[in-house]
């Protein structure tokens, strides 16, 4: 089974949960910007969240199935049609051979995901199928590419209510390596400031803007480069914060005022340009509790899928459903 790409937006890449363990060799984790979307897609298709999917940055493309293929759509909701008919987002669908799926622009958020039953079977490099554009590991998908799909069997016609994370909001943070270099007044002002996501953003990081003065650390020009990870909030020389994302550099010398919890990184990455963001410092115990609750919700996702109710007139694959499971007597 496979999907042929007839049209594709810029910076659409194959992503899974990334390749941890290579920071010491100068390679950051990469992986999906919205890990939650991978779990949602896995729940809708009844498969492992380790399966690779297509991450679409702001704009999708046009895809043709060569054989019957199950798909699911999660993450930032996008305009989507199947052979010209609209189909729901955050749901699973059946593509028959020759059918065309057209995914347009994001309606909210930044990153939409196209999942396939069996996962995308691209080349495995250093234990992952994830593309890492800045490190030149893999490349963005292109017109004419064929997405090879793994062995698969299962049902479609399922939906899942997505966690709201596409319009900014509150991000929980813990102290980072250089937090103590910022005085209490600056830290308090940081926590009380209303930021908004600027236009400078990619899979490496996203710039935040705000009214008023920037945020400076004591002796920040003398800070040595240290290991950094996604979620770190770096302050540039102008005092503007950047939240680092999956393809961030592995070391850096800009002061880090805080680090966003992993459970809030999907919200950070999906915040659209101009949307508001606030930060709240939490203790390490509070952070562990928030992360544990998030991990529990990931495990529970498969139990939250529901049948997708549609008008039979709009179900092009209606005959593929087992609507009658046995013989019924008209006399009973």
- Predicted confidence (pLDDT) at residue 285 exceeds the cutoff of 90: yes
Q: What are φ and ψ of residue 133, in 5° steps?
A: -60, -45
Decide if 229 is inside a domain: yes
Mean pLDDT of the chain: 91
| pLDDT at res. 94 | 96
Mean pLDDT on 80-105: 97
| pLDDT at res. 214 | 87
Q: Are 127 and 197 found together in one domain?
A: no
The conformational region for residue 190 under phi > 0 = left, psi -120 to 50 = alpha, else beta, is: alpha
**Domain total of the chain:** 2
The alpha carbon dihedral of 302, 325, 149, 110 has a sign of: negative
> CA dihedral defined by 160, 161, 163, 165, rounded to 10 degrees?
100
Q: What range defines the domain where residue 60 resides? A: 2-163+303-320
Mean pLDDT on 254-279: 96
Q: Are 43 and 175 found together in one domain?
A: no
| pLDDT at res. 324 | 53
Decide if 270 is inside a domain: yes
- Predicted confidence (pLDDT) at residue 321 exceeds the cutoff of 70: no
Q: Which of 118-132, 180-194, 207-221, 263-277 has the lowest mean pLDDT?
A: 207-221
Instruction: Please give the residue that has the higher pLDDT: either 311 or 38.
Output: 38
Q: Are 224 and 123 found together in one domain?
A: no
Half-sphere exposure of 237 (CA within 13 A, CB side): 2
Percent with pLDDT over 70 in the chain = 92
Q: Are 192 and 141 found together in one domain?
A: no
Q: Are 28 and 76 found together in one domain?
A: yes
Q: Strand, helix or coil at 43?
A: helix
Q: Are 23 and 154 found together in one domain?
A: yes
Decide if 328 is inside a domain: no
CATH, residue 263: 2.40.100.10
pLDDT in tens, 117-154: 999 999 999 999 999 999 999 999 999 999 999 989 88
Q: What are φ and ψ of residue 186, in 5° steps?
A: -65, -40
pLDDT in tens, 230-265: 999 999 888 889 999 999 999 887 899 999 999 999
Q: Are 61 and 158 found together in one domain?
A: yes
The alpha carbon dihedral of 89, 74, 302, 5 has a sign of: positive
DSSP codes of every residue in 170-192 = EEEEE--TTGGGS-HHHHHHHHH
- Spatial CA neighbour of 228 closest among 203, 250, 207: 250
Q: What is the pTM of this model?
A: 0.91
């Amino acid at each position: 089974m496979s999907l042929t790409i007839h049209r594709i937006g810029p910076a659409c890449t194959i992503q899974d949960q990334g390749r941890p363990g290579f920071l010491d060799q100068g390679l950051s984790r990469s992986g999906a910007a919205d890990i939650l979307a991978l779990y949602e897609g896995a729940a809708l298709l009844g498969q492992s969240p380790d399966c690779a999917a297509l991450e679409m940055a702001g704009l999708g493309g046009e895809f043709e199935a060569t054989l019957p293929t199950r798909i699911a759509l999660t993450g930032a909701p996008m305009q989507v049609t199947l052979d010209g008919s609209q189909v729901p987002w955050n749901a699973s669908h059946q593509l028959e051979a020759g059918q065309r799926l057209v995914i347009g622009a994001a309606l909210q958020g930044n990153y939409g995901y196209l999942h396939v039953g069996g996962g995308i079977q691209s080349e495995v490099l250093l234990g992952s199928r994830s593309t890492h554009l800045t490190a030149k590991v893999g490349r963005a998908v292109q017109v004419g590419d064929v997405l090879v799909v793994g062995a698969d069997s299962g049902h479609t016609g399922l939906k899942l209510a997505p966690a709201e994370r596409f319009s900014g909001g509150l991000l929980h943070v813990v102290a980072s390596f250089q937090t103590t270099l910022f005085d209490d007044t600056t830290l308090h002002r940081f926590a009380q400031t209303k930021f908004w996501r600027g236009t400078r953003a990619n899979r490496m990081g996203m710039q935040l803007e705000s009214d008023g003065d920037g945020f400076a650390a004591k002796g920040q020009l003398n800070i040595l480069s240290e290991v950094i990870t996604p979620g770190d909030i770096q302050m540039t020389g102008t005092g503007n914060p950047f939240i680092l994302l999956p393809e961030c550099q592995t070391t850096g010398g800009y002061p880090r005022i805080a680090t966003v919890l992993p459970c809030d990184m999907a919200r950070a990455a999906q915040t659209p340009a101009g949307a508001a963001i606030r930060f709240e410092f939490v203790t390490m115990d509070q952070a562990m509790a928030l992360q544990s609750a998030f991990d529990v919700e990931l495990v529970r996702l498969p139990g939250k899928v529901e049948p997708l109710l549609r008008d039979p007139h709009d179900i092009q694959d209606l005959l593929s459903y087992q609507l009658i499971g046995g013989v019924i007597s008209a006399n009973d």
